[in-house]
Amino acid sequence: MIAIDTNILVYAHRSETPHFTKASALIRSLAEGRSSWAIPWPCLHEFLAVITHPRIHKTPTPVEVAFRQVDIWLRSPTLALLTESDRHWSQLRGLITAGRIVGPRVHDARVAAICLEHGVRELWTADRDFSRFPNLNAVNPLIV
């Protein structure tokens, strides 16, 4: 299963981003495809926070529009929303310790732990910080 990180979701939604065309096509192909794909819940929360933030975007996405975007993704019959499992604490603790993670990167460790708990084959992300988690196959699908 392929999971999607926040930045790919943002690029697929915000048409002014340099990766909009490619990111939106990638998400569309997953949403309309037959294979399972996933979004970790923390990435969905972060997506909403980023696109509606007035300090990040000159014209932030209105909350109602952001909700509609999420609703569209949720209609994909092959989408799974990933959350913490019973193994989460041990997985997270191991990743934080092995990667010497502190501060804001704990969020990335949380996403990585959730993906590993659910057997995610690839995490599509443009964030190189995920390279700190060697057991997670982080792929930037925007690089040709």
- Structure confidence by residue, pLDDT tens digits, 13-39: 999 999 999 999 999 999 999 999 999
Paired tokens of 119: 């057997």
Would the pTM of this model clear 0.85, i.e. be above it? yes
The better pLDDT of the pair 74, 56 is held by 74
**Rounded Cα distance, 92 and 18, in Å:** 33
Report the pLDDT value the prediction gives residue 61, as an integer from 0 to 100: 86
Residue appearing with tokens 């603790």: 93
**pLDDT band of 144, cuts 50, 70, 90:** low
Judge whether residue 1 has pLDDT over 70. Answer: yes
Cβ-contact 144, 19 below 8 angstroms: no
* pLDDT, average across residues 126-132: 91
pLDDT above 90 as % of the chain: 87
Per the model's pLDDT, the better-predicted residue between 56 and 114 turns out to be 114
Q: How much of the chain is in helix, strand and coil states, percent to nearest 5?
A: 50, 10, 40
CATH dotted code for 2-139: 3.40.50.1010
Q: For residues 42 and 111, give the distance between their C-alpha atoms in angstroms, rounded to a whole number.
A: 7
Length of the chain: 144
